[in-house]
Structure 1
Amino acid sequence: MNLKEMLKFADDIVFAKTGQHLDDLQEAILRGTLQHETYKEIAKDFDCSESRVREVGSELWRILSEQLGEEVSKSNFRSTIERLQVSIFSKYFSPQESVRINCVNYCPEARHPPDTPNSHAHNEETANSKQTKTSHQDLSEMPELGVFYDRTPQLETLKTLILEQRCRLIALTGISGIGKTTLAAQLVQQIKDEFEYVIWCNLETSPTLAEFQDKLIQFFSQPEQLDSSATNQKPLTLLKYLQKHRCLVVLDDIHNLFSSGELAGKYKPEYEEYRYLFKNIETLSHQSCFLLIGWEQPREVTQAKNQNPAICTLQITGLDIKSARELLRNYGLGEMENYSAIIHRYQGNPFWLKSVGNLFQELGGCVTELLQDDTILLPGELQDNLQQTISRLSDWEKEVLSLMAREGEGIKLVKLLENTKIPPSDLVNVVQSLRRRCLIEQQANCYILPDVLKQYIL
């Protein structure tokens, strides 16, 4: 089918559902999709916002999905239309008639013989059932989107890395509470239609590699199992699915694969095999993307990011002043004279700011008085959060943080060496590990410990 025929076929489907033909923007979206353009490129060509294109596109895919009885998205539109058009006409016409497929208009009622009672209701029931079974998106483990404070720069960076640069492996890192998972969930909602398969996996239960691979293969192979012509075919290997289809796999809480009491990124003995999975995703050719979210990241990912353009690590930092003030305003703190100082004190960390906000709502004015100076409050939930992070550190890492907390200001590597008994070769690894955990920052030749962590350690 050529482009004109594809658009005509889609127009017939939309008209059968809505009674209206494709408008200019809908046609532009379908045309751009068939020409492998991104939503951003379609928006530029049509001279409108990308968000508007995504909104209209989402509604268009919904209409097509309902009419065709299976999930239709930007990534599988062409293949779905061609396959369904052939199957519809080969089912109801002889082979000689089916070769004239491009000359015949699509008619939803033709799916059932006209004399079948309640054929329309039966068609809807069958379509809904089929759509559920053939869904290519499993976001059941993705947290619900709550209030999302603006992170446009980070979102745009991730979109560029995934959709334009086609990165195969992206590590999303940052200290606990900084908003990594919230950002990733917002990202997935915006780009999921660019992929044929999207799945969100939470590693809180720490599945073995075999269990994890089986879960992915089962998800990727479901459409094949529903196709009667493929019932006798064995599922492909995981890599073959990643090569054959455009897939987005999100792994949340990846730090659960790593050992406590060790430097960052050291696998627990039973999860060492994940190393080979990430190595294959990094080095072997495929068209899919893995997004890893966690306080710690695999060492092979952080080591390879500068040598391989298909690998990237993005550290998430705190909210900007405007977004953080909006958050504080929800707790009655956004109108304080020194609200920017409070945001800086807590590094714009959404979880830390919410903890202080909850304390303010419970105790009221007395908290406000304390926040007027440089006091750093550590509500119980914030202490629990920090304890969970600190408890994962090695003894040497804890020793370095204690020294930095007592020092007060930034400290140079030479001074750390003078005041600890850690051998020089090990000390540099300890500092590197603390930086990978996003617990310390480097400014010029000094290392800085955030005020909240300093207060907690002291």
Structure 2
Amino acid sequence: MNITEVLNLADELVFAQTGKHLDYLQEAILQGTVEGQTYSKIAEETYASEGYVRDVGSDLWKILSEGLGKEVSKANFRSVLNKSIKFHVSSTTVKNFVGINNVNICPEHSRSPTQPQQPQATPTALRLDLGNAPELFNFYGRTEELATLDRWIIQERCRLIALLGLNGIGKTTLALRLIDQIKSQFDYVIYRSLRYCPSLSTTLTNLRAAFSPDSEGPNTLETQLTDLIAHLRQFRCLIVLDDMQMLFAGGKLAGQYQSGYEDYQDCFKAIAQVNHQSCLMLLSWEKPLMVSTLESENLPIRSFLLGSLGASATGILRDNKLLDEPNWDELINLYQGNPLWLVQTAGLIREVFAGRVSDFLAYKTVILCEPLQEDLAGQFHRLTAQELAVMGQLSQEAEPVCLAQLLHLTQFSPNECFNLIQSLSRRFFVGSQEQEGVRRFFLNPVLKEAVKNWRASATADRL
């Protein structure tokens, strides 16, 4: 008997005894047992503790023992099940059925372990829970970005996608538009923000309430995660977690979790690596280290860096009633096609320059309105002192610089300098480009001006 038959028959036997199908951990225990794995190995692959796996296994063997009428354990499971199976064929009641002792099991109700587990109660309609998502009033462009994300989720069945980019670039807007475009493909669509840094237990409890609002959920972190993955296997779910960067610590290199929030990484890693039929999308302006490690064209894990809105940003300027349309492309390029930066700057142009873009651009410099400077200053507060030193040096350079130049200018050791550049790149503050086979690094004009203002303000505060 192959593993598919073992799991199908065990599932039907458990269902006959309990009215419930095998959950993902029970399946993993059975498959690991057939393959000769230890409980320790099964625990490692399912991101559960060995003690918890042993407890679930013990309960499972008891259920199978009652159903088969003989003692079943991890050691004898395969041989007992093989000896207990009898095949019968009947043309009067059902075309065929499997009999295990006194339990008749119809193969038509069996399922492949590679297919999604059938829930006890399948939703009859989409359950859309957007929680505290902002209302989407306008959407500009992003046709290619939508097509790529649609393909990754619907066709390639990616389990985890990180949607990344600078603050204000439009990650939330794109995610909400994507939800509207593909929601009919899911049983559940859930949006939550991590802006106020909920604990993992709080987030898992919140997600469970979206699945089963009237039932009491498990009360340990381990069982909460097991319960979530069971739902991801039983149903086709799209879960969007926004503002992931708030889980990361300030004053440390990019992607390091705050103390007490490290268990989020284990949760996300389990969702990325355990087999299920759902998708988790993480929105962040700091790239998680886990994503950098796991993403691959051969794995169902992806990251998408959202860039300039490009020519579609003219819609923002038009809605903000700016004048001098022939000059709009220059304004868009100067502010990196960042929707938030353009909206904030458009307010300044309306109030100070009566909406005339040409008058604003005549000053031949990047002008940062107060809201934009404050937003960027708030992000600079999260950087390490060493990162700020690198940013300060880059802000003074007229041209992109290579690593050798940066090492000379900053006096950091090679190890320090490389880690700092990597961290700033993961925050999307530092850009890079190839010039004559050499990678060079730079700040975009908005960030360069913001850093100069930041350093001037810090110097004034010290005087």
- TM-score w.r.t. the length of structure 1 is 0.66
1:184 to 175, 199, 212: 175
Cross-structure match for 2:292:
302
Q: Do the aligned partners of 1:327 and 1:334 also contact (CA within 8 Å) in 2?
A: no
Does 1:312 find its partner at 2:309? no
CA contact (8 A) 1:134 1:222 kept: no
Q: What is the distance in 1 between the residues matched to 2:432 and 2:206?
A: 40
Q: Which residue of 2 aligns with 1:398?
A: 388
Residue 453 (structure 1) aligned with residue 409 (structure 2): no
Contact 2:128 2:189 in 1 (8 A): yes
Q: Which residue identity is paired with 1:453?
A: L
Aligned equivalent of 1:41: none
The whole-number CA distance in structure 2 between the counterparts of 1:221 and 1:333 is 49
Structure 2 match to 1:103:
none
> Which of 200, 204, 217 is the matching residue for 1:209?
200
* Cα offsets for 1:171-206 (capped at 9, x unmatched): 000011111111111111111111111110111121
For residue 435 of structure 1, report the CA deviation from its aligned partner.
1.1
Of 249, 266, 270 in structure 2, the residue corresponding to residue 259 of structure 1 is 249
Change (3 A) 1:163 1:135: closer
Report whether the alignment pairs 1:172 with 2:163.
yes
Tell me, in whole angstroms, the C-alpha distance in 1 between the residues paired with 2:273 and 2:441.
34
- Structure 1 distance, partners of 2:207, 2:255, is 23
Determine the structure 1 residue equivalent to 2:230: 240
Q: Is contact 2:158–2:279 with CA below 8 Å preserved after alignment?
A: yes
Task: Tell me if structure 1 keeps the 8 A contact 2:328–2:357.
Answer: no
The answer to whether the 8 Å contact 1:217/1:236 transfers is no
Where 2:260 maps in the other structure, the secondary structure is helix
Contact 1:360 1:368 in 2 (8 A): no
Counterpart CA distance in 2 for 1:133 and 1:297 is 37
> Shift of the alpha carbon at 1:235?
11
> Residue 136 of structure 1: which of 103, 127, 135 is its match?
127
Helix, strand or coil for the counterpart of 1:217? helix
Matched with 2:140 is 149
Q: How does 1:34-73 map to 2 (within 5 A)?
A: none
Following the alignment from structure 1 to structure 2, what is the Cα–Cα distance between the partners of residues 421 and 414? Answer: 10
Q: Distance in 1 between matches of 2:281 and 2:225?
A: 24
Task: Verify: 1:349 aligned to 2:338, yes or no.
Answer: yes
Corresponding residue for residue 85 of structure 1: none
Question: How many percent of aligned residue pairs carry the same amino acid?
Answer: 38
Take 2:300 and 2:193, find their aligned partners in 1: how far apart are those partners? 23
Distance across 2 between alignment mates of 1:380 and 1:388 = 12
- For residues 126-147 of structure 1, the C-alpha deviation after alignment (integer angstroms, 9 at most, x for no partner) is xxxxxx9997221122210111
Matched, 1:408 2:398: yes
> Could you tell me how far 1:372 is from its partner in structure 2?
2.7
Quick one: structure 1 residues 320 and 311, their matched pair in 2 at CA, closer, same or farther if it must change by over 3 Å? Answer: same
Shift of 1:279: 1.0
User: Structure 2 CA distance, aligned partners of 1:370 and 1:334?
Assistant: 11
Gap runs ≥5 in structure 2: 1-92, 94-122, 217-223, 453-463
2:187 pairs with one of 196, 201, 206:
196
Query: AA paired with 2:441?
Result: Y
CA distance in 2, matches of 1:413, 1:241: 47
Which residue is equivalent to 1:419? 409
Please report how far the alpha carbon of residue 388 of structure 1 lies from its aligned counterpart in structure 2 after TM superposition. 1.7
Please tell me the residue identity of whatever aligns with 1:202.
S
Are 2:324 and 1:331 equivalent residues in the alignment?
no
Aligned residues: 319
> C-alpha separation between the residues in 2 aligned to 1:394 and 1:236?
37
**Separation (CA, whole Å) in 2 of partners of 1:146 and 1:426:** 44
Residue 278 of structure 2 is matched in structure 1 by 288
Contact 1:217 1:238 in 2 (8 A): yes
Task: Indicate the structure with greater helix content.
Answer: 1
Offset of residue 329 of structure 1:
2.0
Give the deviation of 1:334 after TM superposition: 5.3
4+ aligned runs moved over 4 Å, structure 1: 132-135, 365-368
**Structure 1 CA distance for aligned equivalents of residues 181 and 447 of structure 2:** 34
SS in 1 for 2:212: helix
Instruction: Give the drift of 1:437.
Output: 1.1
Specify the alignment match of 1:91 in structure 2.
Answer: none
TM-score (norm 2): 0.65
Deviations 1:279-333 (A, max 9, x none): 1011111111000001113211122113752110100001112x11221122333
> Structure 1: how far apart are the matches of 2:321 and 2:126?
43
Alignment correspondent of 1:436: 426
Inter-CA distance 319–367: structure 2 relative to 1 (3 Å threshold) = closer
Cα distance change of structure 1 residues 307 and 159 upon mapping to structure 2, 3 Å threshold: closer
In structure 1, the partner of 2:101 is none
Could you tell me which amino acid in structure 2 is paired with residue 423 of structure 1? Answer: S
Read off the aligned partner of 2:164 and give its amino acid letter: T
Determine the C-alpha separation between the residues in 2 that align with 1:213 and 1:249.
Answer: 12
Distance apart, 1:223 and its partner CA: 7.9
Counterpart in 1 of 2:347? 358
Residue aligned with 1:279, SS: helix
Give the unaligned 5+ runs of structure 1: 1-98, 100-131, 226-233
Deviations 1:37-92 (A, max 9, x none): xxxxxxxxxxxxxxxxxxxxxxxxxxxxxxxxxxxxxxxxxxxxxxxxxxxxxxxx
Instruction: Give, in whole Å, the separation in 1 of the partners of 2:359 and 2:226.
Output: 63
**Counterparts of 1:400 and 1:387 in 2: how far apart (Å)?**
16
